[in-house]
Copies of this chain bind each other. A is one copy, B any other.
């Protein structure tokens, strides 16, 4: 007997995925978006915003370890970390595994989402919102970065998809990356989630990569497969000086060994594996000429 209840997401106008829906745990219309916390037969508890899967109980560790550790390990000794986005708390969780961390500031606009995650997604945050080093603010990340004068060792951009019409588009522009660079301490590094790198949908990745390359001297795209995301997923690392490809396996192993709890996805070989760019993706990045700017934000889709 085929299941009767399904979660349906059109990932593009040519593709959709269906997941059996075991339970509707929580739904709300926040000031900014439609929020659903569902239990799927395929991936367990799942956060959905505006109909799009954000992360799932079974494989969120792949996404969050991939987002956080390459940058943190490459930095080598981060003390002050800024997270833009990151509502579920799992990005904080991964940051706090690094024993050098003294403060984590997370800026997530949508307080109702963060509160719902605190209540319903303990598997993600593991109580880390209560860590005394953590501060959570609900305001516009762009303004916070522009107006503050604090410097950070690592800035992690864990943001919603850059839709042309949506507010997040301003968190993927040249001007924003300049602000990010201006708020890094010497030797600081930044990283952003960077959408699909699928063969039929990699232009947003290439655009983000090319835009960051106008601000930073070292820009490294990387990718992995988060199964529930359906397509291979990209990230971009950026720094003025530090290079994740320059670390030896031994050095990564030594740094990883100092983390205060074991990981499930990331390890030294996986670190370099993620930065191994197939030819087709190298070429997409090389041929990208466009830059995303405040005045002419580009359509990502």
Interface set of A (CB-CB < 8 Å, partner B)? 1-10, 12-21, 23-24, 34, 36, 38, 40-43, 48, 50-51, 58-59, 61-62, 198-200, 223-225, 227, 230-232, 262-267, 269-270, 272-280
On whether the beta carbons of B227 and A278 are closer than 8 Å, the reply is no
On whether the beta carbons of B42 and A15 are closer than 8 Å, the reply is yes
Partner of A14, one of B34, B40, B223, B273: B40
Partner of A59, one of B199, B223, B273, B276: B199
On whether the beta carbons of A4 and B273 are closer than 8 Å, the reply is no
Known: A200-B42, A200-B43, A277-B269. A19 touches B23 (CB 8 A): no
Report A27 CB to chain B, min CB distance, Å: 8
Query: What B residues does A200 contact at CB under 8 A?
Result: 42-43, 58-59, 227
Partner of A265, one of B16, B273, B280: B280
On whether the beta carbons of B15 and A20 are closer than 8 Å, the reply is yes
Query: What B residues does A267 contact at CB under 8 A?
Result: 276, 278-279
11 contacts between A and B (CB under 8 A): A1-B34, A1-B51, A6-B8, A6-B16, A14-B42, A42-B200, A223-B225, A225-B232, A262-B279, A273-B274, A273-B276
Q: Within the assembled complex, what's the spacing in Å between the Cα atoms of A3 and B24?
A: 14
Q: How many copies does the complex hold?
A: 4
Report A248 CB to chain B, min CB distance, Å: 13
Residue of chain B at shortest CB distance from A278: B265
Query: What B residues does A7 contact at CB under 8 A?
Result: 4-6
Query: What B residues does A262 contact at CB under 8 A?
Result: 279
Residue of chain B at shortest CB distance from A281: B265
On whether the beta carbons of A14 and B4 are closer than 8 Å, the reply is no
Known: A227-B198, A230-B230, A272-B273. A19 touches B15 (CB 8 A): yes
Report A269 CB to chain B, min CB distance, Å: 4
On whether the beta carbons of B273 and A1 are closer than 8 Å, the reply is no
Q: Within the assembled complex, what's the spacing in Å between the Cα atoms of A224 and B197?
A: 13
Q: Within the assembled complex, what's the spacing in Å between the Cα atoms of A21 and B5?
A: 8
Query: What B residues does A38 contact at CB under 8 A?
Result: 5
Q: Within the assembled complex, what's the spacing in Å between the Cα atoms of A9 and B5?
A: 9
Query: What B residues does A231 contact at CB under 8 A?
Result: 225, 227
Q: Within the assembled complex, what's the spacing in Å between the Cα atoms of A232 and B42?
A: 15
On whether the beta carbons of A48 and B4 are closer than 8 Å, the reply is yes
Partner of A278, one of B8, B9, B270: B270
On whether the beta carbons of A272 and B272 are closer than 8 Å, the reply is yes
Query: What B residues does A230 contact at CB under 8 A?
Result: 17, 227, 230
